[in-house]
Amino acid sequence: MVSIEEKFMVNILYRSESKILNGIDISTVNFENLIKLASSHLMLPALYFNINKKNCSSLFPDDFIEYIKNIFTINKARNEILLAEAKELSELLFENNIKHIFLKGTALLLSNLFEDIGERMIGDIDFIIQYKDEEKIKKILEKNNYCALYNVAIYSIFRPKHLPRMVNKNKTISIEPHLELLSPKYRGIFNSEKLISAFKDKAKTIRIPSEPFLFDHCIYALQLEDKAFNYSNYSHRSIYDIYKLNCKKSLTIKNIKKDIFIKHFFLTIAKFKIFDITMTTTLLSSYSDKLFRFLTISFFKFFIIIEQYIIKCSIIIQLFFNIELRRLALNKISVHYHHKTLLNYIYRWLKV
């Protein structure tokens, strides 16, 4: 069931000025709930931009407009800093011959996709590098006053999606250097090999993926990493990104009906009637989709269980060969030995 506040927000974001009140009785809108909804989807700046653009601020209380205007102003100022710091980071990496491509929100902002840079809320500066530059970039970033917010797990079996998030006391925005696009269990669906040709480009300019790639990455990240495929969730920030990317132009999958993840994305949000995409389904295709979804979710859950057991075995093996790891573990146990058995305590401590 779509709330009146969500219908109103969708109208403001995606409809023309004349259709903002279609199906809406403004007297029934709870503006506090609208704030909470837009905030939970990271859409307050985009909401203000569209209200201002479509000249409909008279529909809202003055304090509502003032509040979201402040959020928009702060976000725009932060994004200006983000763009400046992304360009500085790019120059630093080029100076050290590290090829890189910006991803996600940073890439969307750099592609001039939005009419105003204040529309999109962004957390970190995400970018991807090649495997061969992993150790090199660690040294360069450390030399330039970047430090990791947490340590990489010593026992990791698979190559991590990204290096630890890093901050610089002289910068505002944290950075996240990626080695892959998605977590290990999802890489068979969407992996960094799709960017190999872009890495071959020798031009030292700020690089971002193509719009079709950004389209795919946005949907797969939401459907897989954010578990939208499992629970039929959706994110208005992702919907807005896809809307700005012009889905019909960016939809390069051979047939939308054959890509279960993209199909699921559009079916989940069909109730909002944002995109003019016909999603006809037969009884057979509906059954096969449900079966595929069940098998896919079951596989991912099974993968997680297997991975946990592999990690436990790996920890035990590493304890025999990694002197430093053994020393740290035994030091911990010497203080808390009475709480856990030896191997169980080591595992639980390392997992944290």
Q: What local confidence, expressed as pLDDT, does residue 264 receive?
A: 85
Same domain, 202 and 242: no
Domain shared by 203 and 245, yes or no: no
Range from 9-18, 198-207, 342-351 carrying the lowest mean pLDDT: 342-351
Residue 133's pLDDT is what? 92
Query: Does the pLDDT of residue 291 top 80, yes or no?
Result: no
Indicate the residue among 173, 188, 209 that finishes a domain: 209
Mean pLDDT, to the nearest integer, of 213-229? 91
> Same structural domain for residues 11 and 133?
yes
Mark whether 112 and 43 lie in a shared domain: yes
Q: Domain check: are 186 and 40 in the same one?
A: yes
Same domain? 56 vs 11: yes
Same domain, 255 and 300: no
**Helix ranges, the chain (H):** 4-14, 31-40, 44-53, 62-95, 104-110, 134-143, 196-199, 211-220, 228-231, 236-244, 247-250, 260-268, 283-321, 323-336, 342-351
Which of 7-16, 23-32, 80-89, 156-165 is predicted least confidently? 156-165
Residues 146 and 33 in one domain: yes
Task: Provide the percentage of residues in the chain whose pLDDT is more than 90.
Answer: 52
Per-residue pLDDT at 230 exceeds 90: no
Instruction: State the pLDDT at residue 352.
Output: 47
Taking only the tens place, the pLDDT of each residue in 234-282 is 999 999 999 999 876 656 544 455 578 888 898 899 899 998 776 656 5
Q: Which residue has the higher pLDDT, 169 or 325?
A: 169
- If asked whether residues 58 and 149 sit together in one domain, one would say yes
Q: Are residues 46 and 184 in the same domain?
A: yes
**What pLDDT is stored for residue 188 in this prediction?**
79
Domain that holds residue 307: 283-351
Q: Do residues 46 and 121 both lie within one domain?
A: yes
Structural domains in the chain (count): 3
Q: For 285-291, what is the mean pLDDT?
A: 62
Share of residues in the chain with pLDDT > 70 (%) = 73
Q: Give yes or no for a contact between 10 and 274, defined as CB atoms under 8 angstroms apart.
A: yes
Tell which wins on pLDDT, 54 or 159: 54
- Domain final residue, candidates 154, 179, 209: 209
Cβ contact 220:182 at 8 Å: yes
Q: Are residues 117 and 201 in the same domain?
A: yes
Query: What distance in Å separates the CA atoms of residue 173 and residue 86, rounded to the nearest whole number?
Result: 9
pLDDT for residue 132 is more than 60: yes
* Nearest one of 247, 266, 203, 16 to 113, comparing CA atoms: 247
Note the pLDDT of residue 307. Answer: 61
3-state secondary structure of 87: helix
Domain end (from 209, 234, 252): 209
Q: Looking at the predicted structure, is the pLDDT value of residue 59 above 70?
A: yes
Q: What does pLDDT average to over the chain?
A: 83
